[in-house]
Structure 1
């Protein structure tokens, strides 16, 4: 599906008082991340965490990427739009695609917009932090987390993704994934713990202060047989009055490459950790 064929979702507006409260909260959060001055104004007015606003940042420039950018330390993209070209010039579902960015253990990627084509987005080889990163049209996956240490922590704070025909975040490695103040729309799955990787691990997923806008299939998918856990808090679901989007789906994963089997969905207190009060439909 090409970028101009992607479905678009219109989100309903909210009252002035609610928007103001979110904006003040976001300013505080961005300041804590070192985004001040004009960056705060741009991110606050154009890209708050709540999908109810439907606002995205405006790119400050455009940069074609023909070879994967390797990041160690901190890479600040200045809200430029990065898009693949040449060998990275695909937005399909080919599993062999290379990423636009690859982050080494402990790296930070911030203030980046991934345009079209986005190839395989971002790969984290160990613990990593994605701050204010936006995917305008997800290619294969938006980000893949591949660390092998159970102490690995992958943090996604702010930003958003849309136009993902399948997964947004692919969790292949070990450790914990924490997604906060994120928005997603027109997607298949927001987070999926790998169901058939050759090497499997128990994985922990925490989603907090997240806005989800239909159409979508599921928010998180986990492998109950490997001890995965998924905690959902403050998740707002937009445009899904019939509640077709499944918040948490349980699978029996494998390491043989076979398609994993779905075994259930909904809160169970063990694998899918949330209650009805942790979700709201707007």
Structure 2
């Protein structure tokens, strides 16, 4: 399928096929004794070594990185916001990736080809996007970890199904999570964000397309540094499959598309 990315809609010109072989990460022993850090700025983790990545690493199964930092070099090391960048990691359907730090340059972060679980994954300086979720009728799970310094989006939802994000820290971003606004094939997408800390500056927590039946549920959201409440919890759009920029369609809770109440948001 041929796709093009726009800054709001997140549509891509092509499907990334990845580069070099399987990722060789040591399972078990590297992660022994590690605990899941609390998703706050004060506990942003330190790396246990670093590795430069010059071509996309394709992984499958369950992979534990032992809190090693991976960063782009060569074709993955431009450090820009150019569209259609390859990811550092491409995950096969059903893959779990945990205890990994993605440093800078971060390229296009992580691509999930289908259902995936990202557990305790941290992005120190988001590139194009932190993670992009693909596939039809899949379940995507992000639990623990954090991402900061995203000039555009942290999470991009291009496939269909359900995306669950919990116990995460999002800092300094434009949009925390976005349902693709102008992909050539569109779907209904369901997004839930729980027990997550959002730190300003930021523009939108979740962007969804009401005309495709998307929904965003927010529970236990802590918003830091936004006493004037400028960050929009839920931005509604009219999406399309033509590549045009989607139009805005209102904000605020409505029990159908934007599912939250004032008690679900705590400002600090």
Q: Quickly name the TM-score band, shorter chain normalised.
A: 0.7 to 0.9
| TM-score (norm: length of structure 2) | 0.87
**Greater helix fraction, Structure 1 or Structure 2:** 1
Q: 1:147 offset after TM fit, Å?
A: 1.1
Q: 2:30 touches 2:66 (CA, 8 Å); kept in 1?
A: no
What residue is the counterpart of 1:274 in the other structure?
260
Q: 2:30 touches 2:65 (CA, 8 Å); kept in 1?
A: no
Which of the numbers 70, 73, 78 marks the counterpart of 2:61? 73
Change (3 A) 1:36 1:92: closer
Which of the numbers 208, 213, 222 marks the counterpart of 1:227? 213
Q: 1:157 offset after TM fit, Å?
A: 0.3
The yes-or-no answer on 1:131 pairing with 2:131 is: no
- 84-93 or 242-251, which deviates more: 84-93
Which of the numbers 201, 222, 226 marks the counterpart of 1:215? 201
Separation in structure 2 between the aligned mates of residue 68 and residue 212 of structure 1, nearest angstrom: 29
Secondary structure, aligned partner of 2:83? coil
Secondary structure, aligned partner of 2:230? coil
Q: 1:117 touches 1:137 (CA, 8 Å); kept in 2?
A: yes
* Matches for 1:8-87 after TM superposition, within 5 Å: 38-40=33-35, 43=36, 47-49=37-39, 51=40, 53-87=41-75
Secondary structure, aligned partner of 1:225? helix
* Matches for 1:178-217 after TM superposition, within 5 Å: 178-217=164-203
Q: 1:90 touches 1:139 (CA, 8 Å); kept in 2?
A: no
Q: Which has the higher contact order (CA 8 A, sep 6+)?
A: 2
Q: 1:37 offset after TM fit, Å?
A: 5.6
Q: 1:90 offset after TM fit, Å?
A: 2.5
Which of the numbers 87, 93, 97 marks the counterpart of 1:109? 97
| TM-score (norm: length of structure 1) | 0.83
Structure 2 stretches lacking a partner, 5+ long: 1-28
Structure 1 stretches lacking a partner, 5+ long: 1-33
Q: 2:31 touches 2:66 (CA, 8 Å); kept in 1?
A: no
Secondary structure, aligned partner of 1:215? coil
Over aligned residues, Cα RMSD in angstroms? 1.4
Runs of 4+ more than 4 Å apart: 34-37
Separation in structure 2 between the aligned mates of residue 225 and residue 255 of structure 1, nearest angstrom: 12
Secondary structure, aligned partner of 1:158? strand
